[in-house]
Amino acid sequence: MSGALPTRALYALIAALLMALLPHLLMLPPWLALLIVAVPIWRATLAYRGRALPSRWLLYALMIILLALVFWQFRTLIGRTGGLAMLASLIAVKLLETRSRRDARVLTLLGYFSAGAMFLVSQSFWMLAWALATAIALTTQLTAWQRQRERLDGEEAWRALRMLAEAAPIVLLLFLLFPRLSGPLWSMPSERPDARSGLSDVMSPGSFTDLTLDDSIAFRVRFDGIAPPPSALYWRGPVFERFDGKNWLQGQPDTAAPPPLETFGPQLRYSMTLEPHERPWLLALDLPTQWPERSRLSSRLQLVADAPLTQRRRIDVVSSPGWRARESADVLARNLALPPAGNSKARALAASWQSLPPQARSDAALHWLRQGGFHYSLSPPLLPGSDPVDDLLFTTREGFCEHYAGAFVFLMRAAGVPARVVGGYLGGERNPSGDYWLIRQADAHAWAEVWLAGKGWQRVDPTAAIAPNRISEGLAQSVADGSRLPASLRSEAPWLKAFRLNWDATVYQWNRWVIGYDAQRQLQLLNRLGIDALASPAFIGWFAAAILALLAAYGVVHRWSNRPHRRDPAARSWQRFVAKLGRASIVPHTGEGPAHFARRAALALPAHGDDIAAIAAAYLAVRYGEDADKLGELREQVKRLRIRRHHSPRSHT
């Protein structure tokens, strides 16, 4: 099976490889993607024109150039981005030196691998459909290489499709029962943290406004029982304790244990499906009392995972809305710290509240914000000066949640009340189709926490003082310039909204059952079958039974597809004729042909001699003379033949 490459099979190979590479190419900068695609197209053109392939040195040069460009773009040749770009370049250049069927096989394997790696780009339903189409294309073109006359037609595609259908039971069985590990095999090199959008670990003016234009899903939540109202859904993210005069930062590494806590009141149970955001925080409601494995509650009372979330993750959490913490003096001192200078007007304003009790200082600040003619705006003026808090509070008076939360905490610290900024999300959209909540990046929010002796940390949302609608109604109702908002957040036609929510419900179920099928979910499924653990006798029993059932099903299908072919009508008539003679004890000998048998039968039954001869002649004419017209005659004659037993030759003599 070697020799020159069949051209049409080569075209099919190139097409299938382009299908396998498409999702990866779309992740590359367009100029690089076009450069990589140009190589297979060049190869196809060479084949079409019957030209010779470029020299080896040109190939090496091209490979080095492509790899250099990939490295220049991504600063790496491994991992998700660099590695896949390198794979694409490798496939393209390998195609340029493909001369034999062996090369085609190597490329096909690379194609399958590349198709499998598509899910690093996305795990959406559409990506699965595309991967399946790619697998069919790769399998179809393989059949062309098995032929010598480069045939490739619809029949081959059907065959590949049929193979896919045949593979389905095994795929399903393995998917459900193959043991899932709960952690990675080895730790990945760290990926670029800005690969995906989401909350940042620095809160600078404008950092949340950017997110409001992003309507992608941050996470979805399903509550066990009744959900709190949206205005109570403060999803707690990064906590900013340090102010450097301009930005709010997380402060020192948060490795300490949480302070002693006391919770009271009803508990909220819910499960969250978090989209990957490349950060460790898990965005639970205040205050988590039970959290999943591989995560912990930090000293800032924030739920963080042991590693950044690089994949979609489903977690079950229990939170207690009523809680009280006992913080140490260290922590409180940290939450009073301000830069030594700057924002003197704000400091002076805060100093005027110093005589009030802490609770009253907070109320005074809120009152001042409410009365100060402040505006809630998605496009506030920039605050480039060295005193951004002063500029906001006394000059521009226009801002977004991060501006007001930051300014409020500044005022509180200046007034001697420990306070900190909490980032996260507020509210969400309830999807009635799936009975769950959708929280988008656009729901990102920032608020404040102040420490009141005797009461502990208290949540204060300064944005509520300025734009109460933002808290109760959501973003769309609280900004005047709604046209800047993404489509899904604008007020829209009810049918469109219903369609969008239904679609998201489908996606949610897909994520829950297919993409989120992990070790935990597998165990849940197995528990329903009465299996406690993998590798238990019960599991092995079920597994063996499933395999046996599968084999039996294959056997039945196989039996059915190989059922005896209907004999042709002439042979059936002949068989009937032989059976009739059999009743007169005349049976064909092994290896005896029809003519000979008929002659012998005619001799044994002289009374039917003519009929038998005629039947034999008709049968031979139909069967071997291809004389289909005689078929009716043959059938008729066999039907008419009545062997009279008492007329056997013996009784005559």
Partner 1 sequence: MKAWFTRHWQRALARRHPQSAVITLRHNRIYVLPTWFGIAYAATALLVLIGAINYQLSLAYLFAFLMLGLGNSALLQAYRNLLKLQLRALAAEPVFAGEVAHFPIAVANPGKPPRNALGLKFNRHDVGWIERIGRDDEAIARLPLLSHERGWLTLPPLRLETRYPTGWCKAWSYAQLSSRCLIYPHPEENPPPYLDHGGDHGQRRVRGSDGFAGLRAYQPGDAPKQIAWKQFARLDVLLVRENDSVQGAAQLFDWHALDELGTEARLCRLTAWVLAADLAGDRYGVILPGQTLPLGAGPAHRHACLQALALFGRDET
Catalytic residues: 401, 445, 461
Question: Least Å distance between CB 506 and partner 1?
Answer: 16
Q: Is 145 in the site for partner 1 (CB under 8 A)?
A: yes
Which of 7, 55, 100, 146 binds partner 1 (CB under 8 A)? It is: 146
Number of residues forming the site for partner 1 (CB under 8 A):
60
Total count of residues recorded for the chain: 653
Q: Is 543 in the site for partner 1 (CB under 8 A)?
A: no
Measured CA to CA, the distance from residue 594 to residue 592 in angstroms comes to 7
The residue among 130 and 376 lying less far from partner 1, judged by its C-beta, is: 130
The edge-to-edge listing of strands for the beta sheet with 248-249 is 202-203, 248-249, 242-243
**Within a 13 Å sphere around the CA of 76, how many CA atoms are in the beta-carbon half?**
11
The residue among 83 and 418 lying less far from partner 1, judged by its C-beta, is: 83
Which of 43, 156, 327, 457 binds partner 1 (CB under 8 A)? It is: 156
Burial classification of residue 345, based on how many CB atoms lie within 10 Å of its CB (0-12 exposed, 13-18 middle, 19 or more buried): middle
**Which residues in 555-614 contact partner 1 (CB under 8 A)?**
558, 562, 565-566
CB atoms closer than 10 angstroms to residue 219: 24
Which of 26, 58, 171, 538 binds partner 1 (CB under 8 A)? It is: 171
Which of 22, 76, 103, 119 binds partner 1 (CB under 8 A)? It is: 119
SS3 450: strand
Measured CA to CA, the distance from residue 137 to residue 132 in angstroms comes to 9
SS3 238: strand
Question: Least Å distance between CB 46 and partner 1?
Answer: 25
Q: Is 143 in the site for partner 1 (CB under 8 A)?
A: yes
Place of tokens 């490798």: 90
Which of 109, 133, 337, 529 binds partner 1 (CB under 8 A)? It is: 109
Question: Least Å distance between CB 409 and partner 1?
Answer: 38
The residue among 208 and 574 lying less far from partner 1, judged by its C-beta, is: 574
Q: Going by C-beta distance under 8 Å and a sequence separation of 6 or more, which residues neighbour residue 101?
A: 1, 2, 3, 5, 145
Classify each residue of 232-260 as buried b or exposed e, where b means 16 or more C-beta atoms within 10 Å of its C-beta. ebbbbbbbbbbbeebbbbbbeebeeebbe
Which of 56, 57, 148, 650 binds partner 1 (CB under 8 A)? It is: 148
Which listed range, 300-308, 554-562, 622-630, 641-649, lies at the site for partner 1 (CB under 8 A)?
554-562
Is the Cβ–Cβ distance between 573 and 634 less than 8 Å? Answer: yes
Which of 27, 59, 159, 228 binds partner 1 (CB under 8 A)? It is: 159
Burial classification of residue 467, based on how many CB atoms lie within 10 Å of its CB (0-12 exposed, 13-18 middle, 19 or more buried): buried
User: Taking CB under 8 A as the rule, which mask of x and - marks residues 501-530 in contact with partner 1?
Assistant: -------------xxxxx------------
- What is the contact surface with partner 1 in residues (CB under 8 A)? 1, 105, 109, 112-113, 115-120, 123, 127-128, 131-132, 135, 139, 142-143, 145-149, 151, 155-156, 159-160, 162-164, 166-171, 174-175, 178, 180-181, 184-186, 188, 310-311, 514-518, 554, 558, 562, 565-566
